């Protein structure tokens, strides 16, 4: 099927040109964040502190990778269920978040919030980690290593396959 190549950071015009169900090959730097990382990021914002990366220019990837075997770029990579992050998403969008990658439906309010913010929710396929790992150029623990798989990892993607969920 037709594939659209996009690179982060992505412009408002590029987001507007996308449609639900479009297949996208995504490249650029993303940061992983699951439940615990969201809690900590929101705590930073609540205390008036800045996030240690420009959230508007990247994407949050709802993902907890498995550890890399010795000498490998990364372990198994894939999306976790996005709806668990719905309670935090409004605040993240207010902080400038535009692009999210995960799997599954979002709450109705979250769908509206994403659209209102001009955001983009991309669906990655769950359970195809060996395939997705081939699109990972680099992967390093970026923040909160004490969280293990739930830490924030900085990843560079090259032609990472996903589909437009909400735009």
Partner 1 sequence: MRKIYSEQIQQAVYQAITEVSYHCDPKVTEALQQALEGESNELAQDVLSSILENHRTSPESMIPLCQDTGSTVVLAEIGAGVQILGQSLPEAINAAVRQAQHDCPLRASTVSEPLFERKNTGDNTPAIIHVEYVAGERIRLLIAQKGGGAENMSFMKMLSPAIGTDGIIDFVCEGILAAGSRPCPPLILGVGIGSNFEGAPLLAKKALFEPLGRAHPDAKYHQMERQITERINTLGCGVQGFRGNCTVLATHILHAPCHIASLPVAVNLQCHAHRHCEVII
* Angstrom distances, CA of residue 114 to CA of 37, 77, 86, 134, 165: 20, 24, 10, 29, 11
Specify burial of residue 46 (Cβ count, 10 A radius: 0-12, 13-18, 19+). Answer: exposed
58 vs 135 by CB, closer to partner 1 = 135
Question: Which residues ranging from 1 to 60 are in contact with partner 1 (CB under 8 A)?
Answer: 1, 21, 23, 36
Nearest in space to 99 (alpha carbons), one of 11, 35, 40? 11
Nearest distance from C-beta of residue 96 to partner 1, angstroms: 27
Contact window for partner 1 (CB under 8 A) among 5-13, 43-51, 111-119, 126-134: 126-134
- Whole-angstrom Cα distance, residue 142 to residue 144? 7
Binding test (CB under 8 A) with partner 1, winner from 7, 27, 81, 141: 81
Contact window for partner 1 (CB under 8 A) among 54-62, 90-98, 111-119, 129-137: 129-137
Nearest in space to 156 (alpha carbons), one of 74, 83, 90? 74
Binding test (CB under 8 A) with partner 1, winner from 130, 138, 140, 145: 130
44 vs 149 by CB, closer to partner 1 = 149
Catalytic positions: 38
């Amino acid at each position: 099927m037709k594939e659209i190549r996009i690179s982060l950071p992505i412009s408002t015009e590029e987001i507007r040109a996308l449609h639900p169900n479009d297949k996208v090959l995504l490249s650029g730097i993303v940061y992983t964040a699951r439940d615990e990382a969201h809690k900590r990021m929101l705590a930073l914002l609540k205390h008036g502190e800045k996030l240690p990366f420009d959230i508007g220019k990247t994407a949050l990837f709802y993902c907890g990778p498995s550890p890399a075997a010795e000498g490998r770029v990364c372990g198994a990579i894939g999306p976790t269920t996005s709806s668990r992050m719905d309670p935090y998403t409004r605040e993240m969008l207010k902080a400038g978040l535009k692009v999210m990658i995960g799997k599954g439906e979002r709450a109705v309010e979250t769908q509206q919030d994403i659209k209102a913010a001009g955001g983009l929710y991309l669906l990655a396929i769950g359970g195809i980690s060996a395939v997705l790992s081939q699109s990972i150029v680099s992967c390093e623990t970026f923040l909160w290593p004490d969280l293990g798989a739930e830490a924030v990892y900085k990843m560079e993607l090259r032609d990472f396959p996903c589909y437009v969920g909400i735009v």
